[in-house]
C-alpha cells in the first residue's frame, strides 16, 4: 500500500487520520505545525511528537514535496519555479516580492481545459487535476526555500493567488482543503483577504465556495458582452455574463472583501475600444461592487493576438475610472523569465488536443453588441 501523503490533508483531515491511529487531536495539530510552519519533512525532526507516533508514521505516511525542475530569478526579484508532477507534466509557481507584500501565484491543474484564447496554458490543453498535496506543496516549497535563502524563520509569503496554470474551480475538491491549510493559524496563517481564487466563471462552484471557504475572488472577465466573451473565454457559452455577475453579487455577501476584482486582458483591436469600455461600465455600474484590473497581454506566437499599446490601455482605464470604477493596470513582473500573467506554460501532456483546435480557429471578433442584460431591458 502507498504511504499516505500528509500534504493532502487540511487540519481536519489530519486529525481524522491521527484519530484512526489512536492519537489525540492535539497530536495532529503538533504534526501540522511541524509540516507547514517549520517545514519539517523527516518525522525524526519532530522532537515534541511522542516517539510512539513517530514510529507509527514511519512507513505509512510521507511528506511528498515536489521535485524542482528549474528555478529562474528575474532581475526584478520575481522567481519562477517549474515543479515536476510526474507523467511528463510540470507546473509553474511564481513568487512576486513587492514593498508591502510577497505574493505567490500557484497552479491548480496540469494544463487547463477552459482554453482561453489569450492564455498560453489554455493553448497547451489539459492533462489532469493536481491533488491537494501538489497544490500546497508549491506554497510549502516557496515559503521554506525563501526562509532558508533569506536566513529567517519569519513568514515570507503574505498573499496567495490561485492564478497559475489551471481553473481552480474545476478542481474544487482538491482546492478547498488547500485553501483551508493556507488560512489555518497552525498552517500558513494567511488572511482570507490575502488569498485569492481566480476563476474564468464556473458559476455553480462560485456558489459553493461562498458556503465552504470564502476568500477573495477575482473573475477573468476579458469582454463586456457574451458574443465576444464566448470567443475569448469559451466557458462563457455555458455560464454567460448575466449568470456570472449574479453569482459574483451573491458571493459578496460572504466574501472577506466588499468587491470582486475583474481581470481584463487588453487585446489590441479585440476588446480594447472606447465602446468596449462603455459597455463594461453599463454592465457593472450600479449592479456590482467591483474593481477592474487591466492586464497588458503577454503575446505568444500561437495566440495570433497582439498587446494593446500603452496609450490605449491608459485611455481605457481612464474611461472606467471617470465612471467611478476603481481601475488599476497590472505591472508586468518577471517578463525576462516568462513569468508574467498568461505566460505560465509548464509542460503538459495534453489529453484534449486543445492546441491543434485553437490553431485552426482564429479569434473571430464580433461587432460590438449590447450585453444580454441591456437587450433584456430594451425588450421590456
Ligand atoms: S486564463 Fe485561466 S481559465 Fe483560461 S485557459 Fe488560462 S488558466 Fe485556464
- 76 in helix, strand or coil? coil
Choose among 297, 287, 279: nearest CA to 367: 279
- Cβ neighbourhood burial of 42 (10 Å; 0-12, 13-18, 19+): exposed
The response to whether residue 114 sits with its C-beta less than 6 Å from ligand 1 reads yes
**CA dihedral sign of residues 51, 52, 55, 60:** negative
Q: What is the 8-class DSSP label of residue 203?
A: H
Q: Are 106 and 134 in contact (CB under 8 A)?
A: no
The response to whether residue 231 sits with its C-beta less than 6 Å from ligand 1 reads no
Instruction: Give the Cβ contact number of residue 103 at 10 Å.
Output: 20
- pLDDT value for 371: 44
Question: In angstroms, what is the C-alpha Rg of the chain?
Answer: 22
Q: Relative to the CA of 115, which ligand 1 atom is closest?
A: 5
- pLDDT value for 351: 76
Q: Are 166 and 175 in contact (CB under 8 A)?
A: no
Note the pLDDT tens digit of each residue in 110-159.
999 999 999 988 888 999 999 999 999 999 999 999 999 999 999 999 99
What CATH number does domain 68-379 carry, 3.90.1150.10, 3.40.50.300, 3.20.20.60, 3.20.20.70? 3.20.20.70
- pLDDT value for 114: 95
Domain with CATH 1.10.150.530 in the chain: 4-62
Q: What is the 8-class DSSP label of residue 268?
A: T
- For ligand 1, pick from 167, 206, 346 the residue to mutate: most ligand atoms within 8 Å of CB: 167
Note the pLDDT tens digit of each residue in 303-335.
999 999 999 999 999 999 999 999 999 887 777
CATH 1.10.150.530 holds for 4-62: yes
The response to whether residue 263 sits with its C-beta less than 6 Å from ligand 1 reads no
Instruction: Quote the CA–CA distance of 368 and 363 in Å, as a whole number.
Output: 14
Strand bridging mode 260-266 / 216-220: parallel
Domain with CATH 3.20.20.70 in the chain: 68-379
Q: What is the 8-class DSSP label of residue 132?
A: H
Q: What is the 8-class DSSP label of residue 361?
A: S
298 annotated as ligand-binding: yes
72 annotated as ligand-binding: no
Q: Are 324 and 359 in contact (CB under 8 A)?
A: no
221 annotated as ligand-binding: yes
Instruction: Quote the CA–CA distance of 281 and 128 in Å, as a whole number.
Output: 37
248 annotated as ligand-binding: no
Please give the distance, rounded to the nearest whole angstrom, from the Cα atom of residue 165 to the centre of ligand 1. 7
Active site residues: 92, 341
Residue whose CA lies nearest to ligand 1 atom number 4: 116
- Spans of the chain below 50 pLDDT: 367-380
Please give the distance, rounded to the nearest whole angstrom, from the Cα atom of residue 274 to the centre of ligand 1. 25
The response to whether residue 122 sits with its C-beta less than 6 Å from ligand 1 reads yes
Helix ranges (DSSP H) in 71-185: 120-124, 132-150, 172-183
- pLDDT value for 59: 87
Q: Relative to the CA of 109, which ligand 1 atom is closest?
A: 7
Please give the distance, rounded to the nearest whole angstrom, from the Cα atom of residue 200 to the centre of ligand 1. 7
Amino acid at each position: 500500500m502507498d504511504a499516505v501523503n500528509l500534504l493532502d490533508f487540511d487540519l481536519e483531515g489530519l486529525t481524522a487520520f491521527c484519530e484512526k491511529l489512536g492519537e489525540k487531536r492535539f497530536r495532529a495539530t503538533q504534526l501540522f505545525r511541524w509540516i507547514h510552519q517549520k517545514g519539517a519533512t523527516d518525522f525524526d525532526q519532530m522532537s515534541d511528537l511522542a516517539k510512539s507516533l513517530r514510529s507509527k508514521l514511519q512507513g505509512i505516511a510521507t511528506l511528498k514535496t515536489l521535485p524542482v525542475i528549474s528555478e529562474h530569478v528575474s532581475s526584478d526579484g520575481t522567481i519562477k519555479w517549474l515543479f515536476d508532477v510526474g507523467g511528463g507534466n510540470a507546473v509553474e509557481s511564481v513568487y512576486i516580492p513587492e514593498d508591502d507584500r510577497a505574493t505567490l501565484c500557484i497552479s491548480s491543474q496540469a494544463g487547463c481545459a477552459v482554453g482561453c484564447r489569450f492564455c498560453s496554458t489554455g493553448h497547451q490543453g489539459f492533462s489532469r487535476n493536481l491533488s491537494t498535496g501538489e497544490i500546497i506543496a508549491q506554497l510549502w516549497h516557496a515559503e521554506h526555500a525563501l526562509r532558508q535563502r533569506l536566513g529567517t524563520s519569519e513568514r515570507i509569503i503574505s498573499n496567495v493567488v490561485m492564478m497559475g496554470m489551471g481553473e481552480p474551480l474545476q478542481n474544487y475538491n482538491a482546492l478547498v482543503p488547500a485553501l483551508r491549510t493556507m488560512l489555518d493559524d497552525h498552517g500558513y496563517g494567511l488572511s482570507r483577504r490575502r488569498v485569492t481564487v481566480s476563476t474564468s466563471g464556473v458559476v455553480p462552484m462560485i456558489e459553493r465556495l461562498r458556503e465552504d471557504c470564502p476568500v477573495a475572488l477575482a473573475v477573468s472577465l476579458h469582454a463586456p458582452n457574451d458574443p465576444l466573451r464566448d470567443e475569448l473565454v469559451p466557458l462563457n457559452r455555458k455560464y454567460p455574463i448575466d449568470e456570472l455577475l449574479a453569482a459574483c453579487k451573491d458571493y459578496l455577501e460572504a466574501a472577506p472583501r466588499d468587491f470582486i476584482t475583474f481581470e481584463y486582458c487588453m487585446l489590441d483591436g479585440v476588446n480594447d475600444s472606447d465602446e468596449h469600455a462603455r459597455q463594461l461600465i453599463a454592465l457593472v455600474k450600479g449592479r456590482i461592487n467591483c474593481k477592474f484590473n487591466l492586464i497588458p497581454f503577454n503575446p505568444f506566437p500561437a495566440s495570433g493576438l497582439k498587446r494593446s499599446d500603452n496609450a490605449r490601455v491608459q485611455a481605457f482605464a481612464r474611461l472606467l475610472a471617470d465612471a467611478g470604477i476603481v481601475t488599476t493596470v497590472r505591472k508586468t513582473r518577471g517578463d525576462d523569465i516568462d513569468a508574467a500573467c498568461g505566460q505560465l506554460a509548464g509542460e503538459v501532456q495534453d489529453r484534449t488536443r486543445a492546441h491543434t483546435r485553437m490553431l485552426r480557429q482564429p479569434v473571430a471578433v464580433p461587432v460590438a453588441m449590447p450585453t444580454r442584460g441591456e437587450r433584456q431591458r430594451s425588450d421590456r
